[in-house]
Structure 1
Amino acid sequence: MPDAPFIHESAYVDSPSEIGAGTKIWHFVHVLPHTTIGENCVLGQNVMAGPHVSIGNGCKIQNNVALYKGVILADDVFCGPSCVFTNVLTPRAHVERKEEFGLTHVGKGATIGANATIVCGNTLGAYCMVAAGAVVTKDVADFALVAGIPARRIGWVSKSGDRLGADLTCPRTGEVYCETDGTLELIERP
């Protein structure tokens, strides 16, 4: 029988929400209504998720991250401490712009570094890696390593998150990749 989710006594989970088996929700987390959290996730201290947010299985969301309406995390996404997701491109305090909320899709196995900012309306590809402090203003390709303000591709990473050299072979697993027209794909497993 799968482990029931753990919800710290200081956390708030609004109904209706779904929380998968084995998920841990830590101190001062707030899960807003209509949020779905997969199995075996970890939501660190001060995380806010929702409303209408989808978090896949095996995600790790570190302290002080806010996941606003429109954020969709695939399985095995890592959100570093204090990374930021926006939800409106032109916010104003005196104007309600809920109809302008942008969708942000984060692909399977992606990593977002500490204090990175993800501007809404962009897609982060599978297994990509966003460096700490980067500001993402456009889509990020699968396996891309991006850094800077605005973020730009500075290399490639493997599924395991290791930076690939010129031979496009993962130093940890031996997997071989191929680059074609600005995209990367896995072509050989050891």
Structure 2
Amino acid sequence: MNVRIHPTAIVEDGVEIGDGTSIWDNVHIRGPSRIGRDCIIGGKTYIAYGVEIGDRVKVNSFVYIPTGVTVETGVMIAAGTIFANDRFPRATTPDLSTLRGSGPDEHTEPTVVREGATLGAGCRLGPGIEIGAFALVGMGSVVTRSVFPHALVAGNPAKPVGLVCRCGERLYSGDPEAAKDGLLRCEICADTYRLKNGRLLAPAAARA
């Protein structure tokens, strides 16, 4: 199997790594978890047990991915991105007498990053959200709500500020809810989308 693991990386028992994947310096991956084919896991990144990462995913350095996160195929996670999985985090029980364990409990909420999405450098993602396919989250954004497919979101809290093509080119600037229905054509790859009620339909549907 053609897998490259840097000698300083810690890959625990139970971690499944697909062919062609590279694990760089000082990465820590806990098991059981799964990393797909042809991925890059950048230096100093931490991936918890139970995490599922699809094929051809690029995770840059200093990324924190806790239990409950699923990343689909073709996702880009830029440097310094941090996921959260607990909406009510506490170190101890309410009476302060007992340190809480680090395992998942009733407050752990799953997060999914759908195929082709990009998370910009330094993003913060709250628990229990979904990042839609081919969405693009601007660097430094704090995402507290789910993001619909092809949306460009930015800010704290992150809000929709445009729409993007599968290739990443901006198709529309402004609040998508205010956009008029019609066709949008990418100037880079020439894909054409149908815009309806603030959402992009797939290129094939637009050409039909």
> 1:152: which partner in 2?
159
Task: Give the root-mean-square deviation of aligned CA atoms.
Answer: 1.4
The equivalent residue for 2:140 is: 133
| Correspondence for 2:201 | 185
Distance 1:120 1:80 in 2: 18
What code does the residue aligned with 1:57 have?
Answer: D
1:172 corresponds to 2:188: yes
Mark the structure with the bigger radius of gyration: 2
TM-score (norm 2): 0.86
Q: Supply the AA of the counterpart residue of 1:106.
A: V
| 1:46 paired residue number | 44
Normalising by structure 1, report the TM-score. 0.94
| Aligned-partner residue type, residue 9 of structure 1 | P
Residues 22-171 of structure 1 correspond to what in structure 2 (within 5 A)?
22-95=20-93, 96=100, 98-99=104-105, 100-165=107-172, 168-171=184-187
Where 1:126 maps in the other structure, the secondary structure is coil
> 1:4 — aligned with what?
2
Residue identity matched to 2:43: Q
1:33-70 deviation digits (Å, cap 9, x = unpaired): 11100000000000111210000000000000011100
Secondary structure (helix, strand or coil) at the match of 1:22 reads coil
Residue ranges of structure 1 left out of the alignment (5+ in a row): none
Q: Deviations over 1:81-130 (max 9, x none)?
A: 00110010111122437311110000000000001111010000000000
**Does residue 20 in structure 1 map to residue 27 in structure 2?**
no
Inter-partner Cα distance in structure 2 for 1:171 and 1:107: 24
Please state how far the C-alpha of 1:165 moved relative to its aligned partner: 3.6
Deviations 1:20-43 (A, max 9, x none): 000000000011011100000000
Give me the whole-angstrom Cα distance separating, in 2, the residues matched to 1:168 and 1:84: 33
Q: Percentage identity across aligned positions?
A: 34
Within 2, Cα distance between the matches of 1:165 and 1:88? 34
Secondary structure, aligned partner of 1:168: strand
How many angstroms apart in 2 are the aligned matches of 1:10 and 1:41? 18
Shift of 1:183: 1.8
CA distance in 1, matches of 2:54, 2:35: 6
Alpha-carbon shift at residue 182 of structure 1 (Å)? 2.7
Determine the C-alpha separation between the residues in 1 that align with 2:119 and 2:184.
Answer: 22
- The separation in 1 between residues aligned to 2:12 and 2:121, in whole angstroms, is 27
CA offsets 1:131-186 (integer angstroms, 9 cap, x no match):
00111111100000000111110000000011114762111111111222232112
